[in-house]
Structure 1
């Protein structure tokens, strides 16, 4: 994949951890100019510096913060070709026990954050076209037990993505989403919190739930190449889609 993103100007939110971090670390090596946005300044800046990217602090749930950060990122990049909106949270809990505070926080970061970052990026993409890639989830398609707020927020992301794709197509702006199932440090923490019995049951479930390999995918091997393609001009004729990167778990139709 040498230079597959040569000269592409890309903003990546959520760049201080997880899949966002994986993209910030990988994309400069593929030729892209990258600005990472995240609320966690110290970690985000360190990752960006290590990866030869730039960093701007941003709270994706705050309109003023988003507009300022995106403007600064675009100025740094000298324009914009791609927004990848990876920032999000996924607290759990039984549906009947979710506090309103938690519901609002999840919706503000995951759903409103998508709305705000997409709108801000669109202002810089509408003249020359470009690509927006949002992070959805299988949870937003088929639900996920003990993740009702998260599932609802990702359902909103999917509906927003498909609608914005229709409205912004006339400007040459594509809007797609991915539904990833990728192994991250957060997943390591989840596994570490399980008892031996719970972990054995979980791994047995994953062995059947993920047809390709029986476990979550690898960031560098399974995730980055797909995101590089979706961030390239070769993906310009696809919009309003949800692309699972999950080993065949979701099998979208």
Structure 2
């Protein structure tokens, strides 16, 4: 098992990529503390992961956009596990908005969860990694390209990219490697986006996706296409990789 003995924290565990990461880490033998703002859904994913094993998982409710609860949750997790080797910070939010009139509450929500949440969780992990470790953040191709009605989300992810590369340089002296994954993966968030499209817009979206993604012409699967990458980044095979923005997108970014 690739992660036997590893102590890992996963944020955003209740669904989608976070749930897939939790399952993969437990399957590879890690002990995982899973965190989410939704205690019911988060606890259910932990129960599912524990049913399969062979690693173990625990759940603790946490709002990543609030510094004090983040610090308390990380302290409690490390007190239980004894140490911390890996943080997979997956929690994030997205919503399209017209750029000429962005509502204040939407702006604050996206920046708080996506930017402040990254800074808070990474800082909390740093305190518990005196002898090195791995932090996996989540960026987006939206932080690299220009997209209609998506500038706020894109700006938040561009901030994650810059943060990741900056702290990788600074924290490398402590043996902490920090990378960001840029996924193009089917998630509940993406499914809701599809459901909101008109039939004409959905057809146009699917046509563009088929043309722009060289591998398969569609979004990837969280369990089969992304989770193995996260296991690699959490394991010793990635010990000399840091400060990287790693697309897991079927080649999308390379052809844009």
Q: Same fold (TM over 0.5)?
A: yes
Is residue 2:25 matched to residue 1:22?
Answer: no
TM, length-normalised to structure 2: 0.94
Q: CA deviation at 1:189?
A: 2.2
Q: Distance in 1 between matches of 2:22 and 2:80?
A: 16
Is residue 2:67 matched to residue 1:69?
Answer: no
Is residue 2:209 matched to residue 1:206?
Answer: yes
Residue pair 1:183, 1:216 contacting (<8 A) in 2 also: yes
Is residue 2:237 matched to residue 1:239?
Answer: no
- What CA deviation, in whole Å up to 9, does each residue of 1:78-134 have, x standing for no partner? 210000100000111111121122111100000000000000000011x21000010
Residue 120 (structure 1) aligns with: 124
Q: Distance in 1 between matches of 2:225 and 2:254?
A: 16
Q: CA deviation at 1:177?
A: 0.4
Aligned residue-pair number = 249
Runs (5+) with no aligned partner, structure 1: none
Residue 8 (structure 1) aligns with: 6
Is residue 2:29 matched to residue 1:31?
Answer: yes
SS in structure 1 opposite 2:115?
A: helix
Q: Which moved further from structure 2: 58-67 or 183-192? A: 183-192
Runs (5+) with no aligned partner, structure 2: 51-56
Residue 158 (structure 2) aligns with: 155
- What CA deviation, in whole Å up to 9, does each residue of 1:187-219 have, x standing for no partner? 222222222222211110000111111110011
Residue 229 (structure 2) aligns with: 226
SS in structure 2 opposite 1:51?
A: helix
TM, length-normalised to structure 1: 0.95
Residue pair 2:215, 2:250 contacting (<8 A) in 1 also: yes
Residue pair 2:24, 2:231 contacting (<8 A) in 1 also: no
SS in structure 1 opposite 2:148?
A: coil
Q: Which moved further from structure 2: 159-168 or 189-198? A: 189-198
Residue pair 1:175, 1:240 contacting (<8 A) in 2 also: yes
SS in structure 2 opposite 1:239?
A: coil
Q: CA RMSD in A?
A: 1.2
Residue 59 (structure 1) aligns with: 63
Q: Which moved further from structure 2: 58-67 or 135-144? A: 135-144
SS in structure 2 opposite 1:105?
A: helix
Q: CA deviation at 1:72?
A: 1.0
Q: CA deviation at 1:244?
A: 0.2
Matches within 5 A, 1:41-190: 41-52=39-50, 53-125=57-129, 127-190=130-193
Residue 54 (structure 2) aligns with: none
Q: Distance in 1 between matches of 2:155 and 2:196?
A: 25
